[in-house]
Structure 1
Amino acid sequence: MTEVHGAETRARARTRRAIVEAAVRELARDAATSLGQIADAAGVGRTTLHRYFPDRAALLDAVATETVARLTDAQARARLEEGDAREALLRLCPEYLLLGDLLTLLFTGVVPDAVLDGQGAAPLAALVARGHREGSIDRELDVEWAVGVVWAQLYLAWATLREGQAARRDVVPMLVRTVDKALAP
């Protein structure tokens, strides 16, 4: 009986994950997409979607939770505590770029920074403030401005990739170089 229950739990987790991933893709494409369209994209019926997420708000909460988890993972991969702040920030940019459609949801406010439990702009702001103290980031650029520069470059990089205008291997070095030159003291 336990083996059956475990398989059932794994199947539920896969279905839930498929719905959340479909929601991310579809909401990035069109923030007003319907739950029915998300269910179709996930390969499940609308009734199944509602079993997991009773309403749009519950699904958006799950998308926000996924966003926080992926932002946190990106920050861990970037090793923010290693090296100076500018080096850490330059490692973080390509990691954030891997967030893909979640970036669109952040840029468009579908997942507002306020619900991200401090995982959106806050780590960038902390890095810039650290960089100001260390002298690795231009002190004449206030924290908010510098964070805005990083998000703007991430937006440009993601839009370039999403539209197929360049390959990731070409976009990442341009992103890192632009942010580096913009923030260098």
Structure 2
Amino acid sequence: MTTTESGARARTRREIVSAAVVALAQDPGASLADVAAAAQVSRTTVHRYFGERSELLAAVTVAVMDEILAATRRAGLDRGPAQDALARLCREYFELGPALTLLFSGIVEIREEDWACMDEDAGRGLSDTVARGQADGSIGADLTSAWIEHLLWTVLYAAWSFARERDVPRHEALDLCLLSLRKAISP
């Protein structure tokens, strides 16, 4: 096998997983044939990479985790005022779109130990950001970091589902999300 073939194989696998994220977000019951159609490959090709739906879902879970971690890094939680950093994080997460749908709907379940691994890299930044905001008085001192993280995910879910279910423009839903988070965590 040549390097080009390996690169093409990896690219096809990524395209199948990306198509699966979108297809499953639109229809949780999407079959491997539906994913193949979305990826514009044959069903046989999908089966070559993923023999069973569970294997594809495992790859989708890893892809969603990677997206969350990359979004957390892009938010730059260590830069600027704490409330601004949390707003950047919400904006980054909100843009995950179909990945959020899979996470919020339970199609993708990230195990506690996987969250713990991600926390090593990204979650500590959230705790540090909250502590920084509490130290400068911009975040309520009576709120724990764990509570603020849970709250962040909750308002993101509310905004994302509000935009989808009510056909509200995404930017309006995101504005409501940011306003709600800012009010909830202020001292």
Fold equivalence (TM over 0.5): yes
Cα distance in structure 2, aligned partners of 1:181 and 1:91: 16
For residue 113 of structure 1, give the secondary structure of its aligned residue in structure 2.
coil
Task: Report what 2:101 is aligned to.
Answer: 104
* Contact 2:16 2:46 (8 Å CA) reproduced: yes
Who is 1:58 aligned against?
A: 55
The answer to whether residue 145 in structure 2 is matched with residue 143 in structure 1 is yes
Query: Which residues of 2 match residues 49-128 of structure 1 at below 5 A?
Result: 49-114=46-111, 115-116=114-115, 117-118=117-118, 122=123, 126=127, 127-128=129-130
Alignment partners' CA distance in 1, 2:171 and 2:22: 22
| Count of equivalent residues | 182
Answering whether residue 45 of structure 2 is matched by residue 43 of structure 1, we say no
2: CA distance between counterparts of 1:112 and 1:74? 18
Judged with a 3 Å threshold, the aligned counterparts in structure 2 of structure 1 residues 166 and 46 are, in CA distance, closer, same or farther, namely same
Percent of pairs identical after alignment?
44
1:167 aligns to what?
169
One-letter identity of the residue aligned with 1:17: R
Give the counterpart of 1:158 among 129, 145, 160: 160
* Deviation, structure 1 residue 29: 2.5
Deviation at 1:10, TM superposition (A): 4.1
1:128-177 CA distance string (max 9 Å, x none) = 35544554321223333322221121112212333462223323322212
Alpha-carbon distance between aligned partners in 2 of 1:76 and 1:175, rounded to the nearest angstrom: 20
Structure 2 residue runs without a partner (length 5+): none
CA contact (8 A) 2:76 2:85 kept: yes
Q: Given residue 172 of structure 1, which amino acid in structure 2 is its aligned partner?
A: L
Contact 1:89 1:124 in 2 (8 A): no
- Structure 1 vs Structure 2 CA RMSD: 2.7
**Residues 165/123 of structure 1: CA separation in 2 closer, same or farther (3 Å cut):** farther
User: Which amino acid counterpart does residue 28 of structure 2 have in structure 1?
Assistant: A
Whether the 8 Å contact between 1:105 and 1:111 is mirrored in structure 2 is yes
With over 3 angstroms needed to count, the CA separation of the structure-2 counterparts of 1:163 and 1:12, relative to structure 1, is farther
| Residue 180 (structure 1) shift | 0.8
**Residue in 1 that maps onto 2:186:** 184
Distance 2:39 2:78 in 1: 38
Q: How does the TM-score come out when normalised to structure 1?
A: 0.82
The code of the aligned residue for 1:118 comes to M
Contact 2:77 2:126 in 1 (8 A): no
Counterpart CA distance in 2 for 1:73 and 1:138 is 28
Contact residue 61 and residue 110 of structure 2 kept, 8 A: no
